[in-house]
Structure 1
């Protein structure tokens, strides 16, 4: 059996603002329209499909595995935007990054309060 994640819906207040935020911070191509969605395509074939919702939005967590060189660029964009960032998901270690599993990682929020994370090593990979 072969099972792969293909896409997930990201609930947001303003799909243009939220999708553009993600593509700009991560250095991805601009989002594309598909029906009522704005789609952000990731390099592994998975897409995040942004969909506007007027109701309550429950914050979700999205983690992105990136390269070491990419981390420097993404982290510079996070700091350049003056975004709050943390080394941990509980937001106790403000203005820090982590070095879990011998890599680097940081957490930050998108415009709708979703907790985004970039890491350079998968958890449990050692190091």
Structure 2
């Protein structure tokens, strides 16, 4: 039987604890390793992909709203976002879902930078992003 993502991460944490932690030669390296271990322990890896797919669906809907509102705007160019929304990549791997999520976040950041004074656009994007929490265990 194939191990679950949580079981795989437990193995990675065990490897880090037994092999890497003893040779962390500086206080900074040890602190960084402890932070990594906490994230690995606290994230529900079995649910992370589903969380990412839900987030991408919300981003796609937000993209549609932005395109509808700002299509043809001289300052706020939505062409790159439009391409992403209209041609979604079929996501069959966690890495593909992550890449799509990063692409949406980059497009939203570019739009906010294109006209920093446009508060309505910024509020739409920030409100959508504020609704997401990391896939942490309860």
TM-score above 0.5, yes or no: no
Q: Which has the higher helix share?
A: 2
Larger RCO, structures 1/2 (Cα 8 Å, 6+ apart): 2
Higher strand share: 1
How does the TM-score come out when normalised to structure 2? 0.29
Given the two structures, how large is their TM-score scaled by the length of structure 1?
0.31
Q: Radius of gyration: which is bigger?
A: 2
